[in-house]
A and B are shown apart, each in its own frame.
Chain A
Amino acid sequence: MIELADVPPDVLDLVGAYQYEIDGGFPVEHGYIWTTCASVENGNPLFWDDAVAAEVTDGPIAPPTMLSVWFRPHHWSPGLEEPAVPLQAHFDLKEQLSLPEAIIADNTITFHDPVRIGDRIRSRQVLRSISEPKTTKLGTGRFWVLDVEYLNQHDAIVGVETYTAFGYTREGVEGASA
């Protein structure tokens, strides 16, 4: 049976603290909305008919499930060195808790204010909880819950992605890679 070390105080201090505030690289734009709708043959008039959008949503909006689209870096841009790792707080925890393996057990997206054309969206990560040690069929470790909050330029929350992860060490495996 693997004995897990206590959670270090500096990691406990991260619970509820905002980390990794990132600005989306470009304003929300209609072209990507149409391309996304075309990719799934989504004919919802909210995204194609300005009159319907004006009546229902006070103007054009993006499909809610496009939330993360506005944060993916360009494949190339001037001066780009290492692209930011999505969910960096998750990878930090693996290292801080010495839990080399991890799975995302659950991913929930909650949709709030609509995302509108021209919005500048930013995100921030916040650790919500760390569990006591648990043993599952994967190994021994801890569950943690991380939120990625998305806000618009008016500081209104437009969505939250909630990840429940299980970081663990496999029995009998030393230093297994992530």
Chain B
Amino acid sequence: MTTTASLRHGDVTTGQDLPKLSVQVTATTVVLGALASRDWRPMHHDYDFAVNRQGTQDIFLNTPNQAAWFERYLTDWTGPLGRLGTMTFKMQDSVFPGNTMVMTGSVTDTSVDAAGVGWVDVDISLMADDRTCTTCTARVAVPTNDDDNPWSRRGDQWNPRGD
């Protein structure tokens, strides 16, 4: 592989922290995210609907776009050879324009499965100002050596849930 700007499995240890990502959320962040994910529901672009009909303080970031933020956060760290296996969400609160959204993560486990895939399990927290809004548990495959490419795995060679 000539694409070298990717994390290797041997470089990762349990307890390791991922670099923090901080983003200033604007109304454009929310609306662009909703439209990019084809989510036309008004609470993600219509202030009057969000506040006066739904009783929230403002329009807020939708779930599919939060998934895209989590993916970006993970692959910023792993590089392009990092391949997502699973992602589990728990939504607790909303992200509004004006918030500073901060993502932090830490490695909870590393393993190599029977097919030779190098897995890294990560817990991620998405906070808006001082509120925990969403937690995410993700499993991502990274190369175990310079010749390994997780994206080349198919069929029995790719079993993200370990079933």
Task: Tell me whether A44 and B89 are in contact (CB under 8 A).
Answer: no
Which of A44, A56, A57, A64 has its CB near the most chain B CB atoms (within 10 A)?
A56
Provide the bound-state CA to CA distance between A63 and B40, in Å.
Answer: 20
Task: Tell me whether A57 and B36 are in contact (CB under 8 A).
Answer: no
Known: A44-B75, A110-B161. A39 touches B88 (CB 8 A): no
Task: Tell me whether A35 and B36 are in contact (CB under 8 A).
Answer: yes
Which residues between 7 and 47 of chain A lie within 8 Å of chain B, taking CB atoms? 32, 35-46
Q: Which stretch (B10-18, B77-85, B104-112, B117-125) binds chain A?
A: B77-85
Per the CB 8 Å criterion, the residue count for chain A at the interface is: 34
Is chain B's interface secondary structure helix, strand, loop, or mixed overall? mixed
Task: Tell me whether A69 and B151 are in contact (CB under 8 A).
Answer: no
B20 in contact (CB, < 8 A): no
Which residues between 23 and 43 of chain B lie within 8 Å of chain A, taking CB atoms? 23, 29, 32-33, 35-40
B114 in contact (CB, < 8 A): no
Selected from B2, B72, B88, the residue in CB contact (under 8 A) with A40 is B72
Q: Which residues of A contact B149 (CB under 8 A)?
A: 56
Provide the bound-state CA to CA distance between A38 and B120, in Å.
Answer: 26
Provide the bound-state CA to CA distance between A113 and B76, in Å.
Answer: 21
Q: Which stretch (B52-60, B62-70, B92-100) binds chain A?
A: B62-70
Task: Tell me whether A114 and B151 are in contact (CB under 8 A).
Answer: yes
Task: Tell me whether B84 and A65 are in contact (CB under 8 A).
Answer: yes
A137 in contact (CB, < 8 A): no
A134 in contact (CB, < 8 A): no
Known: A35-B36, A39-B32, A56-B149. A64 touches B71 (CB 8 A): yes
Task: Tell me whether B90 and A63 are in contact (CB under 8 A).
Answer: no
B160 in contact (CB, < 8 A): yes
B32 nearest CB across to chain A (Å): 5
Provide the bound-state CA to CA distance between A99 and B70, in Å.
Answer: 33
Q: Which stretch (A101-109, A119-127, A168-176) binds chain B?
A: A101-109
A153 nearest CB across to chain B (Å): 16
Known: A57-B151, A109-B86. A69 touches B37 (CB 8 A): yes
Provide the bound-state CA to CA distance between A68 and B65, in Å.
Answer: 11
Q: Give 24 A-B contacts (CB < 8 Å), ordered by A residue.
A: A35-B35, A36-B68, A39-B37, A40-B69, A42-B68, A42-B72, A42-B75, A45-B80, A52-B80, A56-B81, A56-B149, A63-B71, A64-B71, A65-B70, A66-B37, A68-B37, A69-B38, A72-B37, A75-B40, A106-B90, A107-B89, A108-B87, A111-B160, A112-B160
Q: Which residues of B does A touch, CB under 8 Å?
A: 1-3, 23, 29, 32-33, 35-40, 64-65, 67-72, 75-76, 80-81, 83-90, 149, 151, 154, 158, 160-161
